[in-house]
Each structure stands twice: as structure tokens, then as C-alpha cells.
Structure 1
Amino acid sequence: MRAAHYTGPGSITVAEAAAVPPRAGEVQIAVAYTGICGTDLHILHGHMDQRVRPWAVLGHEMSGRIRALGADVSGWQLDDPVTVMPTIWCGQCPACRAGNSHVCHHLTFVGIDAPGSMQAYWTVPADLLVRLPASLPLAHAALIEPVAVAVHDVRRSGLRLGEHAVVVGGGPVGVLIGLVARRAGAHVLLVEPDQYRRSVADGLGLRTVDPAAVEVGHLVEEWSGGAGAAVAFEVSGTEPGLVAAVRALAVRGRMVLVGIHPTPRPVDLHRFFWRELSLVGARLYDRSDFDEAVRLVAGGAVPTEPLISRIEPLEAARQAFQALEDGAGVMKVLVDCQAASR
């Protein structure tokens, strides 16, 4: 079979790889689609070389069908449609014992610390499987993982009905957070400089603003009746985005840090003191977030199809990464992991 490998900073190589037969407690999945996300770009840039070694197989946003079952696997059948919650925790560390296994001290993130899904056939522990409805197109289901991220982020915010929420950064996760927050009954404003991304969010009924055209803090004050936003989600991973998120918050507002900031950032701590603000980290998700994501996508409450900008065959994985990196006219790029084997 073929697989897409990280082969050093700036390099993705598609090459032959041996399919791994499932052992006891494992399943082999015929991967339909794998999405590329911001974390994958961080890997490509070499920012995660302390965890990801050359010839690692990337990918963790995926959908597919069960191809083979290992011994002792029950409750699953061949051809069942599935996605994977790509986290393996130790169960013994203080975080796990406190019920926070999704941020286990020794967490293995599949697709970073272990081989990922950008390959034709992928073998994983059966307890990572998440069942998909048969009616849900597999291309749409490849976005279940980022929807689970959005569900977790909104839950972490403590968002309440009728509150104002600002989302800074209108990539796929930012838009999904906006949709989940709106579903929770919030008034949502999405801040995004890219016109194409704003147009996608506009098409989904979200209110958007270009931060180059207005002063975001002043706009939020007017929009919120002078109070500011109860919640700001910082999804951009940029210093200007961080500044805008803090500036948007009302007294006792909550900022949820979603974007990955690879370097330390200056933060206006005086404003945190003066307004009694809270900073909340939101790293991953748990099983209930995945289950809710499946329900929202399958039921149409959070549409994922409008976020899919292009689909490339596995052989063109490097071009798929480049399309996302270039950013022009692109939201989510999927890799068709079966195209090369048909």
C-alpha cells in the first residue's frame, strides 16, 4: 500500500509501506479520507521534531470502513463506517486518576506520537473507534475530529444562552466553534482577515468582520451593548489575534485559548487584573465530545461539506499540504487515501 510520510522539515513523501495486520484488540481500517490541519502544518515545518521523526505517517482527522478485525474484538463488523478518537492515555498518572485522561501526562496522540491515518490501511486499537451513521458521507465524516475540538472548546468556555462570543480566527476550527456556539444559543461574531474564509462563514449564517477594516474592540462594545464579549475564543495562533481576543472581553470574561502558539506571546496582564478576566486552555477532547460531534454533523446542525475546499488523491499529498499552506481560497483539504489503490 501507499502512505504519506513526513521526511523532514518541508518534506512529505508518498511511498510504499507495509500494511499492519491487526493483532488482538485491534482493527484495520480502509481509510477513506484524511484531513490536513494546522497541527500537521506545524509538523511539516519541523516545529514538532522532538515528537515526530522522519518517515512518520501523518494524519488524525479521518473516516473509513473496517477492513479486518483482530482477535477479541467484539461489537464491530467488517465494512462498518468509523472514525477514530486518536488519543491513548496511561490511566495511571494524576491527570488520568482525576478524570482528565484526555490531557494524560503520558498521552500518545495517534498521528503524532504513533503512525497516523494518511495511508490506505491503518491498524489501531479497537477502543479508539467511533461509530458513524451509515447515512453520513465519509468525506463529511472526516471532519468529525475538528467538530469534537469545537464541542470541547465551547464546553470549556462555560458558554450560556444569550451570551456574546467572539471567535478570533476563521479557519475550519474557528468556523466550527462559531457554529457550535451558535447552536448553544450564543450571539457569535467571527473575526477573520481572509475574505474567502469570511465568505464561507457568511454562507453558514455567521456574522463576520475583517479586523483590518474596523477596530475589533470598539465594534464588540457596540455589538454587545457596551459590555464586551462574555467569551473570546483565540483560534488564530497569532499575536494580533491574542491581543484582539483579550481586548474584546467584558468584565469577568473568559478567553479560551484554542490556537497553537509556538512561541511565547506578550499578554496584557493588567487588563486581566482590571477586568477580572479568566484564561482557559482547551487542548483536546473526550469521548462525549466525539459522540456529540457525530450527532451534530449527522443531524445537520453543524454542516461540514461547505468547509471542504478540495480533495486530493494520496499520491498528491504534498500538493494537498501546499494548498493548505498557500491558504488562498482554501478551508479544509482532504486526502483520498483509497484513490491510489483503486
Structure 2
Amino acid sequence: MKAGQFFSGKDVRIKQVQKPIPKKDEALIKVSSAGICGTDMMIFFGKHPRAEAPLIMGHEFSGIIDSINGVSDFTVGDRVVIEPTISCGKCPACEAGQMHVCQELKLIGIDMDGGFAEYVTVPINRLHRVPKELSLSVAALAEPLAVAVHTVRRSSLKIGENVAILGAGPIGLLIGMIAKLNGANNIFISDISPYRLEKAKDLGLHPINAGEKDVVDGILSYTNGKLIDTVFEVAGTETTLEQTVKLIKTQGKIVVVSVFKNRPLIDLTSMHFNEISLTTTRCYSKDDFRTAIDIMAGGKVDISAVISHQLKIEEIEKGFSLMGEPDKSLKILIQP
């Protein structure tokens, strides 16, 4: 079968590899669509601490069951989307039912071969049915949408609150969609990419071009100086982290979504005197994943708006190149 394999920094190539055979309690999936995400880019640049070459990346993907090795309610031909997290089931987090923060958490497409291939094997218990209302290409985005669902839940967002999102990549835009769905009032979103900010405007968000104006001043000019109830940091820079503290109201909440590569500085003194809550978010629970599918199937958000390209697997190198150009791309789907 064809597969897009990662070999070393900036080296992803199409190779002919052996079609996998499902082990006990696994299903063989004929992949329909697989999204390139920021984590894949980290692997691509050789900066992911766990990913080891050669590796077939791709943890956001949908497809059709080709075969099943085990007892299951699923059948050959079912359309499915894959929840890629693999938990140990034994650590304190797992025993407490918080499988998504397992101490030994692994992901399909990072710790084992994933969806940038014609076929992939996955545990049966990682499968979710795709409702008939959903195309398989849109269903592939259940994973990033689940991240947004989990993030907004972690924020305890209340109806009518003003929100700021720092970073207008796919996750930032999806957080904006879910915040809007949950009753947020004004939703501001900043970035340096005019292309992504235009997408944000189309989605009913208030875009702030960080390359043209001070983000804090720009947002507070809209609110007549009123500080923000909840701020989501989704860019992963010290600049945006500093902006969160300047934007947040007394007793407001900052939610850090980014995974910082280096230890950042943050103004804890200001946070202390204003009783600011700081929370973080990682992955999603099974319930978040199911909720994401239900939201898409119900047409409650236009998730297709974040899809900028759909490429054949032979174009995977082009896909990774486009991902490095935020003025030209958002979510890129690879379709074997």
C-alpha cells in the first residue's frame, strides 16, 4: 500500500509498505481523509520527543472498516472516525476515569503508525460511527473539534461572557465556534495572518491583526476598556501569554491550550492581586469526542470552513509545505 512516511527532519516521502494485518481486537481501516495538524508539523521538523522514524503520521482521520479481528458491534463497511488516544488503564489518572491525561498516554500517528496511508490498524475500542449526515472528510475533523469542546468545557464559559482567543489557527477557530455555540457574547481572535483572520470574520468572530496593531489596545477599544472574562492562549508564544494577563478581568480565567516548547515567563504578581484563574487543557475525553461528532452531525457549526485543502496522498509533501504558510492554509486533509 502507499503511505506517507516520516524519515527525518523535513523528510516525508511516499513509500510502498506492507499492508497491516489487524491483531486481536483490532480493525483494519481503509483511510478516507487524514488531517495534518501542529503536532504532525512538530514531528516533521524533528522536534517531537516521542515520535521515532520511520513513522506514518496522522492522528486525525476517518475511513471505512475493511476487516475486524474480534467481537464487535461494528461491521465491515461501517464508516468510522478514530479516537487516537491510547491509555494504559492502570495509572491513577486512568483509575479516576481521566483516561485522556493518562501518565503513559500514547497516540496513534505519533507513538505508532497512523492515518497517512491507504490502510491502518486501530483498536476496536477507538472507533466511533460516522452519522449518515456527515461526509468522511468532515468527520476526520472530529479530533480537533473534540479538543475545542474539551477546552471550552475546561473554561467553564458562561452565557454572555466576552472571550479573547490568541491564535487563529484551526484550533483557535474551532474554539471560537464552540464558544459561540455555548453562548459567548463578543469573541475576539488575534493572529498575524490576514488569510486566517478573514476566515475568522466569516465565522462571526472579531479579528485583530497582531501584525498591524497592539492586540490588547485593539480588543479594549472595542469593549470601551472593559476587560475580558475568558482568554484562550492558542499561539504558544511569550508575547501572547503576556497579553492574556493584560486582557483578563479580575477573577477571570486564562486557559492555556498551547504546548510551550520552552518554559515561559508569566506575570504571577498581577494574577495574584487580581485573583486570576489559570487552567490548562490536554486532548479530550471520550464524551468530548462523542459531543464533537454530534455537533458536526447536527450542523451546529460549519467545521468545513477550516478545511483549506484536500490533497491526494501523493501530494503529502506539498501538504506539509503548505502547512508552513499560514497565509495560504488552515486544515489540510490528505486523502489516500
> What TM-score comes out, normalization by structure 1 length?
0.95
- Asked if the contact 1:153–1:258 (Cα under 8 Å) also holds between the matched residues in 2, the reply is yes
Q: Partner residue of 1:45?
A: 45
Q: Partner residue of 1:10?
A: 10
> What TM-score comes out, normalization by structure 2 length?
0.96
Confirm or deny that 1:175 pairs with 2:183: no
What are the Cα deviations for residues 241-290 of structure 1, in whole angstroms up to 9, with x where unaligned? 21222211111111111122111111112221121112111111011111
Aligned partner of residue 82 in structure 1, secondary structure = strand
Q: Partner residue of 1:25?
A: 25
Correspondent of 1:87 among 80, 85, 88:
85
C-alpha RMSD over aligned residues: 1.3
Report the AA paired with residue 45 of structure 1.
F
- Asked if the contact 2:322–2:328 (Cα under 8 Å) also holds between the matched residues in 1, the reply is no
Confirm or deny that 1:270 pairs with 2:293: no
Shift of 1:59: 0.4
What are the Cα deviations for residues 152-187 of structure 1, in whole angstroms up to 9, with x where unaligned? 000001101111111100011100000000100012
Task: Give the Cα–Cα distance (whole angstroms) in 1 for the partners of residues 145 and 332 of structure 2.
Answer: 15
Report the AA paired with residue 259 of structure 1.
S
Shift of 1:204: 1.5
Q: Partner residue of 1:340?
A: none
Q: Partner residue of 1:117?
A: 115
Report the AA paired with residue 12 of structure 1.
V
Q: Partner residue of 1:300?
A: 299
Correspondent of 2:129 among 128, 131, 149:
131
Report the AA paired with residue 325 of structure 1.
G
Shift of 1:6: 1.1
Task: Give the Cα–Cα distance (whole angstroms) in 1 for the partners of residues 220 and 325 of structure 2.
Answer: 34
What are the Cα deviations for residues 29-62 of structure 1, in whole angstroms up to 9, with x where unaligned? 11001100011111111111x3111111100011
Task: Give the Cα–Cα distance (whole angstroms) in 1 for the partners of residues 307 and 207 of structure 2.
Answer: 19
**Mean alpha-carbon deviation: is it higher for 308-317 or for 205-214?**
205-214
Task: Give the Cα–Cα distance (whole angstroms) in 1 for the partners of residues 20 and 211 of structure 2.
Answer: 50
Task: Give the Cα–Cα distance (whole angstroms) in 2 for the partners of residues 14 and 246 of structure 1.
Answer: 45
Percentage identity across paired residues of the two chains: 35
- Asked if the contact 1:178–1:206 (Cα under 8 Å) also holds between the matched residues in 2, the reply is yes
Task: Give the Cα–Cα distance (whole angstroms) in 2 for the partners of residues 175 and 105 of structure 1.
Answer: 29
- Asked if the contact 1:65–1:80 (Cα under 8 Å) also holds between the matched residues in 2, the reply is yes
Shift of 1:224: 4.2
Confirm or deny that 1:194 pairs with 2:180: no
What are the Cα deviations for residues 178-202 of structure 1, in whole angstroms up to 9, with x where unaligned? 0000100012111122110011111
- Asked if the contact 1:216–1:248 (Cα under 8 Å) also holds between the matched residues in 2, the reply is no
Task: Give the Cα–Cα distance (whole angstroms) in 2 for the partners of residues 7 and 24 of structure 1.
Answer: 29
- Asked if the contact 2:191–2:211 (Cα under 8 Å) also holds between the matched residues in 1, the reply is no
Shift of 1:292: 0.8
Task: Give the Cα–Cα distance (whole angstroms) in 1 for the partners of residues 126 and 163 of structure 2.
Answer: 32
- Asked if the contact 1:191–1:208 (Cα under 8 Å) also holds between the matched residues in 2, the reply is yes
- Asked if the contact 2:312–2:334 (Cα under 8 Å) also holds between the matched residues in 1, the reply is yes
Shift of 1:223: 3.9
- Asked if the contact 1:146–1:173 (Cα under 8 Å) also holds between the matched residues in 2, the reply is yes
**Mean alpha-carbon deviation: is it higher for 84-93 or for 239-248?**
239-248
- Asked if the contact 1:227–1:251 (Cα under 8 Å) also holds between the matched residues in 2, the reply is no
What are the Cα deviations for residues 105-160 of structure 1, in whole angstroms up to 9, with x where unaligned? 01111111111111101111000001111231111111111100000000001101
Q: Partner residue of 2:313?
A: 314
- Asked if the contact 1:27–1:69 (Cα under 8 Å) also holds between the matched residues in 2, the reply is yes
Q: Partner residue of 1:61?
A: 60
- Asked if the contact 2:193–2:326 (Cα under 8 Å) also holds between the matched residues in 1, the reply is no
Aligned partner of residue 216 in structure 2, secondary structure = helix
Shift of 1:294: 0.6
Task: Give the Cα–Cα distance (whole angstroms) in 2 for the partners of residues 248 and 231 of structure 1.
Answer: 9
Report the AA paired with residue 156 of structure 1.
R
Report the AA paired with residue 152 of structure 1.
H
Task: Give the Cα–Cα distance (whole angstroms) in 2 for the partners of residues 23 and 98 of structure 1.
Answer: 28
Shift of 1:225: 5.3
Q: Partner residue of 2:332?
A: 333
Aligned partner of residue 326 in structure 1, secondary structure = coil
Task: Give the Cα–Cα distance (whole angstroms) in 2 for the partners of residues 5 and 175 of structure 1.
Answer: 29
Report the AA paired with residue 27 of structure 1.
A
Shift of 1:214: 3.2
Task: Give the Cα–Cα distance (whole angstroms) in 2 for the partners of residues 54 and 277 of structure 1.
Answer: 42
**Mean alpha-carbon deviation: is it higher for 166-175 or for 207-216?**
207-216
- Asked if the contact 1:164–1:224 (Cα under 8 Å) also holds between the matched residues in 2, the reply is no
Aligned partner of residue 175 in structure 1, secondary structure = helix
Task: Give the Cα–Cα distance (whole angstroms) in 1 for the partners of residues 243 and 235 of structure 2.
Answer: 10
Shift of 1:213: 3.2
Runs of 5+ in structure 2 lacking a partner? Answer: none
